[in-house]
Amino acid sequence: MTYPMGGGGMPSWSMLRSLRNRDELGGHRVRRGVARRIAAFARPYARDITVFLVTVIFDAVIGVATPVLAGRVVNAITKGGPSAGTVVVQLALVIAGLAVADALLSLAQRWYSARIGEGIILDLRTRVYDHVQRMPLQFFTRTQTGALVSRLNNDVMGAQRAFTSTLSGVVSNVIQLVLTAAVMFTLSWQITGLSLFLLPAFILPARRVGRRLAEITREAYQLDAKMNATMTERFGVAGALLVKLFGQPTAEARRFEQRARRVRDIGIQQAMYSRTFFVAMLLVASLAQALTYGLGGWLAVQGSVSAGTVVTLALLLTRLYGPLTALSNVRVDVMSAMVSFDRVFEVLDLTPPIADRPDAVPVPAGAARVEFRDVRFRYPSAAEVSLASLEDVAVLDRTVSEPVLRGVSFAVEPGQMVALVGPSGAGKSTTSMLVSRVYDVTDGSVLVGDVDVRDATLQSLRDTIGVVTQDAHLFHETIAENLRYARPDATDEELWAALVGAQVADLVRSLPDGLETMVGERGYRFSGGEKQRLAIARLLLKAPSIVILDEATAHLDSESEAAVQRALAVALAGRTALVIAHRLSTVRDADLILVLDGGRVVERGRHEDLVAAGGLYAELYRTQFAVADSPTPYAEGAADVEPVVVPARTPELDATA
């Protein structure tokens, strides 16, 4: 006995997936034009798809021809005669030849299926990855990383199935169903009609099983997502440190175990529902075959049909239930594929707001002048840069934010160091990001080397400008690979020269693996000062003519700050520098200090002049040095400092936590 969904029909697991996905698709509306875009996307694989479908068609024909030949073998045996043996042998050889052909066709199908499927995965993944890399920074600050990764994995795999299992399943099942039904009704419409009588008894319960599978599968997906998010956060260095500092490993393990236990229970339910489905499927097929043998045998005894016909009908029956049941869910399969494509197209349809203009020109080599002309800027709304599905919200926020910069004008001459200072939220970091075109101005213009950055090629702009931020990011790769991110063709000698200039060469030489040392996730194997100096070495290797320092020493201790300052002195020598500083002591020697407040330049001048003017800069300067001179909790006399009292937890506090 064979499973009714095996062989030529759609595989049983595929049909279960269709039933399970039916409810999942209920709330997703596929946009217009998706089918046309899918066809255009598949055009490069047209020849492979054609050959693939031809193999599927021949395979379906063989699936129907084999039972017919088996029935003729039985008829030849029962008829007897001097030539019966020869006929049986000839038919057996034909059946064997068809079996070999079926095996070869199966291999050909798998090869073309893999070629098409993996090619589509490659095209989609690379296209989406490249597109996402070009999205603005705010896209990444709003998007859930896990949701974005899911588009590159789950949805791409779902789209790939459209050209493999779904396409082949539909073609194969339609051909097999038509041929099988035609042959069966030709042989005996009475037996065929009675055999199909039990089909509703299988399909209707299967749909109910599918709905229940959809419910528990949805819950399992949600729990898996929560567990993945928990592991991602807790297994990161920062998360692991927080768990240890607050002594919560037992509570974390208990919370994770509760979710994992529920996933286990769902897994058991899924296994039982699936097994019940297959048992019911086998039972209905067995009962149908029993009816076929019963009615067919009685008709054979009466002389209405031959014994071979009964055998042929019984074998064909196993190839009829599968296609019928699978095609009853073909809409779900097609919709699943279209939804996957649509979710991928959603990302590809997000237009990167920052891109090279058709007539973009390169920034002149060695350009070292920066100028802001009445620059105004506001951050784009969520609706302009993101997707609701990637933020896990129902509707994107369309609120237009208040301007961050309101008419900022200044110039940084070649070789000058200009500092931006001011209270938090004044727009200092935003100003620096407009130079390297992380964002584009809302109004006004930013010029580098007398070229509006919007008219410059992005590559030439990035080659001209080097940036060191307060949180220097290092990839989980070797020191050499992190440095060569600035210059892929740099030699080891050039790497060491950059490390020497950044005051970190001795540290790297002391490491057992030297340049091949893995830096760890986000560079956590190194201290903050060491990471900053490695970032400065990367900057030196790039050798830009314009340097932007965004609070590069903000969170360092005095010793690390001194080492980084020495490295920065080398990095800034002979270069134009725009420095954002929180510690005003680090910009005393700046050629020009700009004081930003509320998105405007409210003061400008040198350190001594600004202190003497008694304005905002003088207030910030006095406040910083007053704090620096005040006693700390670790100094003598700190006992006089009033402690901060944390209120005891109450049921009301617990309810709002």
Residue 561 has pLDDT above 90, yes or no: no
Q: How far apart are CA 306 and CA 309, in angstroms?
A: 5
- Contact assessment for residue 432 and residue 578, using Cβ atoms and an 8 Å cutoff: yes
- Integer Rg of the chain from CA: 36
**Dihedral angle, C-alpha 430, 533, 487, 352, nearest 10 °:** -20
Structure token pair of residue 492: 């080891």
Domains and CATH numbers, the chain: 12-348 (1.20.1560.10), 416-439+461-629 (3.40.50.300)
Residue 654 has pLDDT above 60, yes or no: no
* pLDDT single digits (tens) 73-132: 888 888 877 888 888 899 899 999 999 999 999 899 888 888 888 888 888 888 888 888
* pLDDT single digits (tens) 188-214: 888 778 777 776 766 666 666 666 666
Whether pTM exceeds 0.85: no
Place of tokens 């790497």: 495
Q: How far apart are CA 61 and CA 478, in angstroms?
A: 57
Please state, for a pLDDT cut of 70, what percent of the chain lies above it: 81
Q: How far apart are CA 527 and CA 558, in angstroms?
A: 13
Q: How far apart are CA 168 and CA 49, in angstroms?
A: 10
pLDDT, residue 405, reads 92
Residue 218 has pLDDT above 50, yes or no: yes
* pLDDT single digits (tens) 229-273: 677 667 766 677 677 667 777 887 888 888 888 888 888 887 787
Average pLDDT along the chain: 78
Q: How far apart are CA 168 and CA 105, in angstroms?
A: 13
Of 56, 147, 70, the C-alpha closest to 105 is: 56
Place of tokens 């297959």: 278
Place of tokens 């989406």: 128
Distances (CA, A) of 521 to 133, 237, 244, 477, 478: 20, 7, 18, 8, 11
Average pLDDT over every residue of 208-224: 67
pLDDT, residue 443, reads 93
DSSP assignments along 121-178, one per residue:
HHHHHHHHHHHHHTS-HHHHHHS-HHHHHHIIIIIHHHHHHIIIIIHHHHHHHHHHHH
| End-to-end CA separation in angstroms for the chain | 60
DSSP assignments along 338-385, one per residue:
HHHHHHHHHHHTSPPS----TT-BPPPTT---EEEEEEEE-PPPHHHH
Of 428, 498, 436, 430, the C-alpha closest to 461 is: 436
pLDDT, residue 39, reads 79
pLDDT, residue 268, reads 85
Q: How far apart are CA 296 and CA 312, in angstroms?
A: 10
* pLDDT single digits (tens) 594-603: 999 988 999 9
- Contact assessment for residue 375 and residue 408, using Cβ atoms and an 8 Å cutoff: yes
Residue 373 has pLDDT above 50, yes or no: yes
- Contact assessment for residue 520 and residue 477, using Cβ atoms and an 8 Å cutoff: no
pLDDT, residue 107, reads 92
pLDDT, residue 509, reads 92
